[in-house]
Amino acid sequence: MNSQQDSAPTTETNTSSMLAERSTVFLLAITCGLSVANVYYNQPLLAEIGRSFDISVQQVGFIPTLTQIGYAVGLLFLVPLGDKVERRGLIVKMLFLLACALVATALSPNITWLSVSSLILGFNSIVAHLIIPFVARMTPVAERGKVIGTLISGVIVSVLLARAASGIVGNILGWQAIYWIAAGLMIVLAFGIRGRLPVSKSSDKLSYQQLMQSLGDLVRQQPVLREAALNIALIFAAFNAFWVTLVFRLEAPPYYYGSQVAGLFGFVGIAGAIATPFIGRLVDKWGARVLVGLALALSLSGFVIIWIAGNYLIALILGVLLLDLAMHGAYVSNQVRVYNLVANAESRLNTVYMVTNYTGGALGSFLGTYSWAMWKWNGVCALCLSVLVVALVVHLSGRRSRLGL
pLDDT at residue 7 in the model: 38
Q: Which of these ranges, 122-136, 166-180, 226-240, 252-266, has the smallest mean pLDDT? A: 252-266
**Distance of alpha carbon 108 from alpha carbon 393, whole angstroms:** 43
* pLDDT attached to residue 379: 96
Provide the percentage of residues in the chain whose pLDDT is more than 70. 86
Work out the burial of residue 253: count CB atoms within 10 Å of its CB; fewer than 13 is exposed, 13-18 middle, 19 or more buried: exposed
Q: What mean pLDDT value characterizes the chain?
A: 84
Say which DSSP state 11 is in: T
| Mean pLDDT, residues 180-189 | 96
pLDDT of residue 19: 58
Distance (Å) of CA 332 to CA 142, 250, 326, 357, 398: 20, 30, 10, 12, 18
**Which residue type is seen at 397?**
S
Residue pair 11/127 in contact by the 8 Å Cβ criterion: no
Q: Which pTM was predicted? A: 0.75
Gap between the Cα atoms of 145 and 157, Å rounded:
18
Query: pLDDT at position 333, please?
Result: 81
pLDDT at 5: 37
CA 109 to chain centre: 28
- pLDDT tens for each residue of 75-131: 899 988 877 788 889 999 999 999 999 999 999 999 999 999 999 999 999 999 888
**Mean pLDDT: which of 132-141, 143-152, 169-178 is highest?**
169-178
364-403 pLDDT per residue, tens: 988 999 999 999 999 999 999 999 999 999 999 876 544 4
Please tell me which residue, 12 or 147, carries the higher pLDDT value: 147
Q: Read off the amino acid at residue 293.
A: G
Report which of residues 151 and 277 the model is more confident about: 151
C-alpha angle 389/390/394, rounded to 5°?
115
How many other C-beta atoms are found inside a 10 Å radius of the C-beta of residue 386? 14
Whether residue 347 has pLDDT greater than 80: no
Q: Flag the least confident range among 72-86, 183-197, 235-249.
A: 72-86
- Considering only CA atoms, give the Rg of the chain: 20
Predicted confidence at residue 301, as pLDDT, reads 96
Q: Which of 33-37, 153-157, 330-334 has the highest mean pLDDT?
A: 33-37
Q: What is the pLDDT of residue 177?
A: 95
**d(Cα 320, Cα 22) in Å, to the nearest integer?**
33
| Mean pLDDT score, 16-20 | 55
**Average pLDDT of the residues in 245-258:** 88
Q: Are 387 and 234 in contact (CB under 8 A)?
A: yes
What CA–CA distance (Å, rounded) separates 257 from 211?
48
Q: Provide CB contacts within 8 A for 338, sequence distance 6+.
A: 224, 225, 228, 229, 349, 350, 352, 353
The pLDDT, as a whole number, for residue 136 is: 66
Mean pLDDT of 277-295: 80
Helix (H, G, I), strand (E, B) or coil at 28: helix
Rounded to 10 deg, the angle between the 346-397 and 223-251 helix axes is 80
Residue 404 has pLDDT above 50, yes or no: no
212 vs 17, residue with greater confidence:
212
Query: What pLDDT, on a 0 to 100 scale, did the predictor assign at position 257?
Result: 87
Q: Give DSSP secondary structure letters for 182-243.
A: HHHHHHHHHHHHHHHSPP--------HHHHHHHHHHHHHH-HHHHHHHHHHHHHHHHHHHHH
Burial of 164 (0-12, 13-18, 19+ CB in 10 A): buried
Cα separations in angstroms, 224 against 273, 277, 327, 337 = 26, 23, 19, 7
The residues, ordered by sequence, that sit 6+ positions from 352 with a Cβ below 8 Å of its Cβ are: 215, 218, 219, 225, 229, 338
